[in-house]
Amino acid sequence: MFRLGISRCNGSILRNQLRITKIQPPVSKINIPKITFSSSISIRNNSTSTSNTTSQEIQDKLVLFDHHPDLSQAVSNPNIHSDQIGYLESIGLGQGWGPTAIIEKLLEYTHVYTGLPWWSTIVVLAVAVRVVLFPLYVKASSNATRMSEIKPQLDKIMKDIKGGDIQDQMKGMEKRKKLMKLHNVSTLAGLAPVLQLPLAYGFFQALRKMANHPVEGFNDQGIAWFTNLSDVDPYLGLQAIAALCIISVVRMGGETGQHAMAKSMQKIMTIVPIASIFITKNFSAAIVLYFAINSILSLIQSLIFKSNYLRKLLGMPKKLSTSQLNQSNSGQSQSIKEMVSKFVDDSKEKSIKAARDANKRMEVTKQRKNSFNDGFIKKH
């Protein structure tokens, strides 16, 4: 039986071997592709050449940042000059919408479209700004004339308001309002020329920056003795012109021509322009040129407002004489010493009055406290 089991086992092993031999094909019939070293090198070379071609095509299609038509100008474009729009922006000026940037842009537009040199550009733009603001000065001068005519009545009303109680103050304010409305007087109209201050600041900052850069043409597009607008005026001639014009304007009644000034204030307004000559001696000629032109325009404007014929053409009331101006502004024609002494006296009066009121309140409080301690509250 043992032999029979072994024979059966050997028979099954032989059958399995035969079955495996029938299923699996012979090894000699399997075709294995051979990859040689040379073929791998050729494939590698092909991929490298393809990538090089592709990168070259991409590089040809890309635009470099330095050669972009818009971005290159925003950084710095040496091909743009001061006679082309965009020059100031290419050097970092004329950006934004503040007073300085607006004046810089207006200077550039005036310089490019008129073809004028830089000194003429500054003069033309200063004149243009004054012409635009001239109607505001006309309104302010007319308002100042009408205000001077009713000044004595207004002073009397204000005196009654200060000395009366609350009801009298309310009545006085209403009376003052009606009087001003009757004579077409406005407190805001006198502030119209203040609108020039932002533009004057814009001129100062714009010309300062353009001279410090310096802008192309500033070194040789001056005139007379100040050919270099970036440099200082060597003879202080522009400062002297500006100071003389300001002194004349003050003595003629200001830019509106209808303001009287005390002699002490006239002395001060004479010293200040002279002192400004030495304060502005280190400013560039471009800045002082604007100061001089603006002062000359103020003087011309004052002369216009002094002429009754021109005032009539402009629809303005007749100018007041010097005596009328002095009389209407008699309250303002005080010396500085008188003004200081009056201020001190008023302060003393207010302090004494406040102390008396405080003492009265303390006495009333003390009486109420004593009454409360007695068991009842006294009515006052």
pLDDT value at residue 182? 87
Mean of the per-residue pLDDT values of the chain? 75
From residue 36, how far is each of 4, 30, 44, 49, 100 by CA, in Å? 56, 18, 13, 21, 77
More confident: 218 or 170: 218
Q: How many residues does the chain have?
A: 380
pLDDT tens digits, residue range 54-87? 545 544 444 444 444 443 334 445 678 888 999 9
Exposure on the CB side of residue 261, measured as CA atoms within 13 A: 19
Tokens of 350: 């207010």
Omega of the bond leading into 317 within 30 degrees of 0 (cis): no
pLDDT value at residue 50? 46
Tokens of 214: 């310096």
pLDDT value at residue 375? 54
Q: Which of 15-19, 118-122, 227-231, 342-346 has the lowest mean pLDDT?
A: 15-19
- Which whole number is the average pLDDT over 154-173? 78
More confident: 285 or 325: 285
Distance CA 240, CA 220 (A): 23
DSSP sequence for 291-333: HHHHHHHHHHHHHHHH-HHHHHHTTPPPPPPHHHHHHHTTTT-
Share of the chain above pLDDT 90, in %: 31
Write down the H helix ranges in 36-165. 37-61, 71-75, 87-90, 99-114, 118-149, 151-163
pLDDT value at residue 42? 42
CB 221 within 8 A of CB 229: yes
CB 284 within 8 A of CB 231: yes
- Residue found under tokens 């009331």: 317
CB 275 within 8 A of CB 242: no
DSSP sequence for 200-256: HHHHHHHHHHHHHTTPTTTTT--BTTB--TTSB-TT-HHHHHHHHHHHHHHHTTTTT
Exposure on the CB side of residue 193, measured as CA atoms within 13 A: 16
- Which whole number is the average pLDDT over 208-216? 93
Distance CA 126, CA 113 (A): 16
More confident: 67 or 275: 275
More confident: 321 or 272: 272
Is residue 46 scored above 90 in pLDDT? no
How far from the centroid of its chain's Cα atoms is residue 242's Cα?
24
DSSP state, residue 319: P
Residue 71: closest CA among 98, 95, 89, 97: 89
Residue 119: closest CA among 241, 232, 217: 217
Distance CA 359, CA 345 (A): 21
Distance CA 142, CA 138 (A): 6
Distance CA 92, CA 74 (A): 8
Residue 108: closest CA among 206, 174, 208: 206
Of all helices (H) and strands (E), which one includes residue 335?
Answer: none
- Which whole number is the average pLDDT over 208-219? 93
- Beta-carbon neighbour count of residue 138 at 10 Å? 19
3-class secondary-structure state, position 88 = helix
